Amino acid sequence: MRIALGLEYDGSSFCGWQTQPGGCGVQDALERALVPIAGTSVKTVCAGRTDTAVHATGQVVHFDAPVQRPLQAWVRGVNAHLPDSVGVLWARETSPQFHARFDAVARRYRYVLLTRAVRPGLLRGKVGWWHGALDIDALRAGAAHLIGRHDFSSFRAAECQARSPVRELTHLDIDGDGTFVTFDLRANAFLQHMVRNIVGALVYVGAGRRPDAWMAELLAARNRTRSAPTFAPDGLYLTAVEYSPAAGLPASF
């Protein structure tokens, strides 16, 4: 039967989601932990491949289980064999046609940015960092130019393998408390480094280095070299993957 799992993980000690020859991917850790419960090796498919040092509170994967097990075995049993930095949150039996990646209708990411003169110590690896205050109103004005269906070529990594740079960004909400700024984004899908590149450009706007209209200019340019540097992965979290109600998966977690 096909099983879907919800995962959270600290990406700091992994080389991204995808399996690697050295076994340093989150996928490698999960597939090793599944073996004692499944009795054999299984392959997993995730909703979104996170990069090195990127975290998740709402990753979704599926795999085809070769044996019948109680759902709690795929949660507590697998967790017993995972490193402390990875945890299975829930398990659901799905239809054989369910696909964690292709059936997803939206993904949500959050970027957490520390804004102060000195770098983080206690939160190292968990937040991004900018060395000064940012104008929240300017950030929001810049973000408004990105909402909608656009060619996001100016915000994709050079090595991005997506067939099309067109994505629909439906939400980009920004909040700040004077110390932290959070960027919450929702789109049908994201290009490689898209969130980190958006944050990097918006920081230039919030710091007064560029006007908010610069974000629209970057979209029109469709040229990655015209934008700001890619921001660090440390503060980036995949927070949720959304599916149609028919999939029978938790709405959010």
Q: How far is CA 232 from the centre of its chain?
A: 13
Q: Which amino acid is at 190?
A: F
Residues facing residue 173 across a β-bridge: 184
Token code pair at residue 26: 């989150």
Point out the catalytic residue in the list 51, 135, 151, 184: 51
State in Å, rounded, how far the first CA of the chain is from the last one: 24
CB 200 within 8 A of CB 227: yes
Alpha helices in 145-183 (DSSP H): none
Residue 135 is among the residues annotated as catalytic for this protein:
no
What is the residue whose two structure tokens read 């890619």? 230
CB 142 within 8 A of CB 212: yes
Token code pair at residue 33: 């932990």
Active site residues: 51
